[in-house]
Amino acid sequence: MHALQAREAPPAASARVHDEAPTPAAPVAAAPAKAQEVDALAEVFWIAPQDGTLAELASHWGIPADQLIALNPDHAPPEPEEGERRRKPLPAPVVPAGARLRVFKKDPAEPTRSVGAPNRGRLVSGIPMPEGDEWTIRKNRRRVYGTHKTISTLVNVFHAYGQRYPDGPKIHVGEIARRRGGRARPHKSHRTGRDVDIRYIQHGDDGKPGYRRTTSQNFDLERNWFLVQSLIETGNVQAIYMSSKRQRQIYPEAKKHLSEEELKRYFQYPFHDESHKAIIRHQSGHKNHLHVRFRCEDWNGRCRARSRSHKKKPATS
């Protein structure tokens, strides 16, 4: 059963990438109709994997304990009766494994938004990536926060993947951003809730968490292309970083679905006059996962699409 559904779709990459989406080909993925009815990300819930107090469980998400308590008043410690003095505080109640906890609630007074450049910005009121049947997220959820556009796009595209490949491997979602964004070592980006790492879909993936190297043999051409094309066709992706090796590998599969003009709009490979405008671009370090960068929200004037350059200070005598 899905933890929740959302209503947009996801990723992208380069600091220099052209900021226009390509003309979409025939759509391959459509979000389920019921995902369009309500904003399913107004609240996000989590199933506690183990017994623990709210303070202990809050550490999984990088949430202050008092905030998690406020989100889950039914599990809050008992308040002392009026006039009663306690020399020692009562022990905090233990939340049992399997309990359904709220980890996010939309605040109309402080909408989720990306502020600044991908490599120098921050995130306000980040939305956590929910749990779902078609994807996995790390046990430590401190860096799974994104903008509404980022998270809702991912959820919708992953649901579409599950409908197309009900027996396919789960999609492994890596790092996005901290709840309030900011520096996330060792990444240069992943600061504003618009950058997402997704492991390539692999043949023979058993769904277990942890590192699994992507090779030319286990790289699933059909499913990875479905994922990439579905993300781009949402119109919400600014860029996708994929190594030249993986671009060469997936390019023949893309040729089955795209015209020559569309291929140039999508791929930097093979290099051509418009390569600098392509959405799928090479960046070293992306043989095992792709990096998606989502667009800024249309209404958000404080979001910067491109990374800021680090200017050297002028030499002094």
Residues 264 and 191 grouped into a single domain: yes
> In the prediction, which pLDDT does 276 show?
84
Residue 105 lies in a domain: no
pLDDT above 70 as % of the chain: 81
Q: What is the pLDDT of residues 134-169, one digit of tens each?
A: 999 988 899 999 999 999 999 999 999 999 999 999
Rg (CA), the chain: 21
Residue 315 lies in a domain: no
Q: What is the pLDDT of residues 71-97, one digit of tens each?
A: 999 888 777 666 566 666 667 789 999
Q: What is the pLDDT of residues 291-312, one digit of tens each?
A: 999 999 988 888 998 887 655 4
Residues 133 and 177 grouped into a single domain: yes
> In the prediction, which pLDDT does 196 show?
96
Residues 72 and 154 grouped into a single domain: no
Q: What phi and psi values does residue 127 have, to the nearest 5 degrees? A: -95, 125
Residues 62 and 201 grouped into a single domain: no
Q: How many domains does the chain have?
A: 2
> In the prediction, which pLDDT does 177 show?
93
Count Cα neighbours of 291 within 13 Å in the Cβ-side half-sphere: 24
pLDDT beyond 80 at 26: no
Cα(294)–Cα(292) distance, integer angstroms: 6
Average pLDDT rounded to a whole number, residues 265-287: 87
Taking all residues of the chain, what is their mean pLDDT, rounded to a whole number? 83
Average pLDDT rounded to a whole number, residues 101-108: 94
Cα(183)–Cα(298) distance, integer angstroms: 24
Residue 133 lies in a domain: yes
Categorise residue 23: left if φ over 0, alpha if ψ from -120 to 50, beta otherwise: beta
Residues 124 and 22 grouped into a single domain: yes
Residue 106 lies in a domain: no
Count Cα neighbours of 260 within 13 Å in the Cβ-side half-sphere: 1
Cα(197)–Cα(17) distance, integer angstroms: 17
Q: Which of 28, 63, 98 is the last residue of a domain?
A: 98
Domain that holds residue 198: 1-45+111-309
* Spatial CA neighbour of 220 closest among 168, 179, 284: 168
Higher pLDDT, 119 or 9: 119
Q: What is the CATH number of the domain that holds 168?
A: 3.30.1380.10
Residue 121 lies in a domain: yes
Count of other CB atoms within 10 angstroms of residue 174: 17
* Spatial CA neighbour of 254 closest among 273, 236, 233: 233
Residues 157 and 61 grouped into a single domain: no
> In the prediction, which pLDDT does 301 show?
84
> In the prediction, which pLDDT does 83 show?
58
